Amino acid sequence: MGHVFGAEFRQVENREHLGKPAIAAIAVRSYDTTVDDLWDAITTPERLARWFVPVEGDLKLGGRYQLKGNAGGTITRCERPNSLDVTWEFMGGTSWVNVRLAPDGAKAGLTLEHIAPKDGIGEEHLKQFGPGAVGIGWDLGLHGLERHLLDPAAPRDQKAIDAWVASSEGKAFVRASGEAWGAAHAASGENPDEARAKAERTIAAYTGA
């Protein structure tokens, strides 16, 4: 474990999901807030729009959601304030995102799993980029969540976000995240050279290098 730009822990697991081989990227964080407040931050449309992206749909168990310009899917589990599971449907493929919240001492802990199938649609993308492709994206998103919790009323400033991502600080964040996901991938059993190469391709894709 180690603190890298606020990320507390990353893990990559090979597992079965729905009877088929899959790979899971797991991110663990803790935030200086309550579990109830953290639940509201990740499930309330008004707050999601301030740190992630706008969401629309029938936002209840069994309902469909759509993130603006991003994934959509079905809410398959919704148990306030601890458990949220959704399908993640994007570019013709389906993966799964599971979020668990729990007290972590005086803070609120968050564990996010993004599970992707190893075969079918998205297989070539996974072979090229590895789990860091979603891992870096979630690290960026969870960084936004951290900033939101410091100032919940602040609106999302897309121009400022884009400028930060393009800055030396933003690129350093992406590199540190990508290298950490590459190390987690190698620790899961992937060939270290392959894991490192996939991480470098992912970092280049995010930074435009």
Q: What are phi and psi of 105, to 5 degrees?
A: 65, -125
What is the identity of the amino acid at 15?
R
Burial 51-68 (b: 16+ CB within 10 A, else e): bbbebeeeeeeeebbebe
| Type and span of the H or E element at 101 | strand 93-104
For residue range 54-95, list pLDDT tens digits in order.
999 999 999 999 999 999 999 999 999 999 999 999 989 999
How far apart are the C-alpha atoms of 203 and 106, rounded to whole Å? 34
For residue 122, the model assigns a pLDDT of: 78
CB under 8 Å to 133, separation ≥6 — which residues? 125, 126, 202, 205
Cis status, amide bond into 81, omega within 30 of 0: yes
CB 93 within 8 A of CB 120: yes
**Sign (positive or negative) of CA dihedral 189, 183, 13, 124:** negative
For residue range 151-206, list pLDDT tens digits in order.
999 999 999 999 999 999 999 999 999 999 999 999 999 999 999 999 999 999 99
E strands of the chain, at which residues? 9-17, 20-31, 55-57, 64-67, 72-79, 83-90, 93-104, 107-117
CB 110 within 8 A of CB 99: yes
Q: How far is CA 84 from CA 15, 98, 168, in A?
A: 20, 6, 34
For residue 14, name the pLDDT band (cuts at 50, 70, 90). very high
For residue 3, name the pLDDT band (cuts at 50, 70, 90). very low
What angle do the packed helices 168-187 and 132-150 form, to 10 degrees? Answer: 130
13 DSSP β-pair partners = 24
For residue 5, the model assigns a pLDDT of: 43
CB 31 within 8 A of CB 110: yes
SS3 7: strand
